[in-house]
Structure 1
Amino acid sequence: MQVGEIGPSRVMIVTEPVGQQRPARMATWVMTRLTSPEYTAIQLTRFQAATGLAMAGILAALVLTANLGRNLRRERRQREQLHEELRRAEHLAALGKLLAGVAHEVRNPLAAIRSTAQLFQRLPPSARDPSMLDPILQSVDRLNALVSRLLFFVRTGHEERRPVDVNAIVQETLALLRAQADSQHVVLQTELAPDLPMLFGSASALQQVVLNLATNALQAMPGGGTLLCRTRRLEGPPRLELTIADTGPGIAADELPHLFEPFHTTRQEGTGLGLALCREIVQQHGGCIELDHQQGWGAVFRVTLPLSC
């Protein structure tokens, strides 16, 4: 048997032929791969170096991940803080606008009360007529209505919620307005869905929405017309739709951007809180209110409320 080296990490073993006959009946050779101690040390050193680099990479990744997490949390807190500051700024701006509107609406009746009272005082007792005080009573009634609407506006969202029959609310509200409609020769029409499900909400608040929209519709038709109230169920996701339409002149295009702003009104006797209150109530119920346009109708208000709220 002969052994010979054929490389730094291999040796070759060759056996002699078996037997005396030539050629030999059987001859075998075996090639065995061996590893020298020097090569093993080199490979071990390389493995240790690679392992060290891998561990260092893992450690660096963990550090970077921790830093990234801290940065994300800090940015989220900053974003929430900015959002809160923006919300406060918007709230203060809305509050300032609301207070300015309140001051304007209160000042006019107070001026009428003051001027009427001064005029009444200057007249001799014989010329004083109790009917001269009617403007004072009218101004007081207007102030009372303004305060009532403001209180309802502030309390919106805090009413007791329970299952509500919207069809019943529409019928009750139209019954309250029937005498005014008859005096104006306005026809009241209803298209109420018979299978309308119950809506979880505030009955008094939703009735205020119907009352404000229907009252606005009547005021837009002093010479007669038609007022339509329609309810139906919408699918995907399940919603309830209430439509109140009139055959009045409609709403001018330049009024649309300010339609739901508080104290914005086109009528001298209006307070400008009706539509703003309607939007606030509808939004508190998770819904939306919008002005639609349909052929043959004037102003068409569509209120959509989710049935799952």
Structure 2
Amino acid sequence: ASDRTIIWSSDAEFIGVEFRTNPELDEAFLGELGIEQGVVGEVRKAEQAFLEGEGVAFIENYLPVHDEQGHAVIGVVELYKSPQALFAAIQTGQRLVWLSAAVAGIVLYFVLFWIIRRASRVIREQQSRLVASETLAVVGEISSAVAHGLRNPLASIRSSAELALEEQPSGYLRESLTDIVSQSDRLEGWIREFLSCARPMPAELDQVALDEVIAECVEVFDGQLERQHIRAGVQVESNLPMIQGDVASLRQVLNSLIANAIEAMPGGGKLDISACRDSAARQVRICVSDSGHGVPAEQVNKLFQPFSTSKGTGLGVGLYLARRIIDRHRGTLELATPAGGGTSATIRIPVAE
């Protein structure tokens, strides 16, 4: 009622009771709707003492009642509701929002982590390539400068040794002259490898028949294979598709792989060279395998770095140059150490369009 006395209540004990201190009730008598939220047990007003269900949330509504003219407020209806379904839906929604935010945060963290890690890996790879390129650029400049100065006297030394061998010397002298010829050939090979670092890929690539290139390379090493008692097996698929590339560069790659295989078998062994098509990937696969001592798995990737070698001799640029050449042909070169021993080098190059 207007005198703040309860004239009716669902709880008969409150009928006739007067409540004075109630800000929401004051606003309702001024004609304003009042809404308040609370929890049973947290009694802040005398009229809330009758509520049951400890810890249950409720909503308190104050509805002003006007006279017939709709001007003066003659009373206030105070309603208590406990919409548990609504509160449960709100709490569920809040939990879903927090869960979604947490999941989104975790996903965002891993996405950013992947992006940063990938960027870091790309930067490291580019830095490594830049260092290798700078190193080989310097080597290329130096080798180009000294190659002409070395090749002429080296050719003279080799020719002199060959002329001396024609006199059919014997004993220690023959062995020394033979060593001079072989070491001259080795120096010539090193110079050729150095010069290959600076030689660009030709602008116009040729249609290359790999079966012919493989046959030529094996023929070059026939004498050495026989001297070292190495059995060579060559299996090339018939009608092998052509590839686009530089014949000289591909020949250098195969020569380098075959030479490495021979050096890994000083006491003899088995050399297998195979070539076949991979129709699914539209590639040609070439495999050069030996039965030598093999390479530790942890050192395989290091062998593709410039000036890295597992042998006591050599400059350590052969495999680096081989992979660089194959990369220019849009292919791949990989080394593997089978469980049975030995080393296997696999080249994959796209077939010609």
2:278 is aligned, of 211, 224, 234, to 234
Within-5 A mapping of 1:16-95:
92-95=130-133
* Amino acid of the structure 2 residue aligned with 1:289: L
**2:248 matched to 1:204?**
yes
- Give the structure 2 partner of residue 281 of structure 1: 325
- Give the structure 1 partner of residue 218 of structure 2: 174
Going from structure 1 to structure 2, the CA distance change for 1:157 and 1:258 (only over 3 Å counts) comes to same
Going from structure 1 to structure 2, the CA distance change for 1:282 and 1:132 (only over 3 Å counts) comes to closer
Pick the structure with more helix per residue: 1
Going from structure 1 to structure 2, the CA distance change for 1:159 and 1:207 (only over 3 Å counts) comes to farther
Q: Kindly indicate whether structure 1 or structure 2 has the higher relative contact order, using CA contacts under 8 Å at least 6 residues apart.
A: 1
Structure 1, unaligned runs of 5 or more:
1-84, 111-128
Going from structure 1 to structure 2, the CA distance change for 1:195 and 1:137 (only over 3 Å counts) comes to closer
Going from structure 1 to structure 2, the CA distance change for 1:295 and 1:94 (only over 3 Å counts) comes to closer
- Following TM superposition, by how much is the alpha carbon of 1:146 offset from its aligned partner in structure 2, in angstroms? 2.9
Corresponding residue SS for 2:233: strand
2:290 is aligned, of 243, 246, 250, to 246
- Following TM superposition, by how much is the alpha carbon of 1:97 offset from its aligned partner in structure 2, in angstroms? 4.0
User: For each residue in 1:152-193, what CA deviation from the matched residue of structure 2 results, as whole angstroms up to 9, or x when unmatched?
Assistant: 122142264211110111111111101100101000101110
- Following TM superposition, by how much is the alpha carbon of 1:101 offset from its aligned partner in structure 2, in angstroms? 7.5
- Give the structure 2 partner of residue 154 of structure 1: 198
Q: Distance in 2 between matches of 1:306 and 1:289?
A: 12
* Amino acid of the structure 2 residue aligned with 1:147: I
Structure 2, unaligned runs of 5 or more:
1-122, 144-149, 151-172
Corresponding residue SS for 2:273: strand
Going from structure 1 to structure 2, the CA distance change for 1:295 and 1:154 (only over 3 Å counts) comes to same
Corresponding residue SS for 2:349: strand
Task: Answer whether contact 1:241 1:305 (CA < 8 A) is retained.
Answer: yes
Q: Distance in 2 between matches of 1:234 and 1:196?
A: 10
* Amino acid of the structure 2 residue aligned with 1:182: E
Q: Distance in 1 between matches of 2:191 and 2:182?
A: 14
Going from structure 1 to structure 2, the CA distance change for 1:301 and 1:87 (only over 3 Å counts) comes to closer
User: For each residue in 1:36-61, what CA deviation from the matched residue of structure 2 results, as whole angstroms up to 9, or x when unmatched?
Assistant: xxxxxxxxxxxxxxxxxxxxxxxxxx
2:313 is aligned, of 269, 272, 288, to 269
Q: TM-score, normalised by structure 1?
A: 0.57
Corresponding residue SS for 1:259: helix
Task: Answer whether contact 2:137 2:198 (CA < 8 A) is retained.
Answer: no
Q: Distance in 1 between matches of 2:234 and 2:184?
A: 36
- Following TM superposition, by how much is the alpha carbon of 1:236 offset from its aligned partner in structure 2, in angstroms? 2.4
- Following TM superposition, by how much is the alpha carbon of 1:257 offset from its aligned partner in structure 2, in angstroms? 3.0
Task: Answer whether contact 2:241 2:352 (CA < 8 A) is retained.
Answer: no
- Following TM superposition, by how much is the alpha carbon of 1:231 offset from its aligned partner in structure 2, in angstroms? 0.4
Q: Distance in 1 between matches of 2:178 and 2:288?
A: 35
2:335 is aligned, of 270, 291, 297, to 291
User: For each residue in 1:135-155, what CA deviation from the matched residue of structure 2 results, as whole angstroms up to 9, or x when unmatched?
Assistant: 999887655433321211221
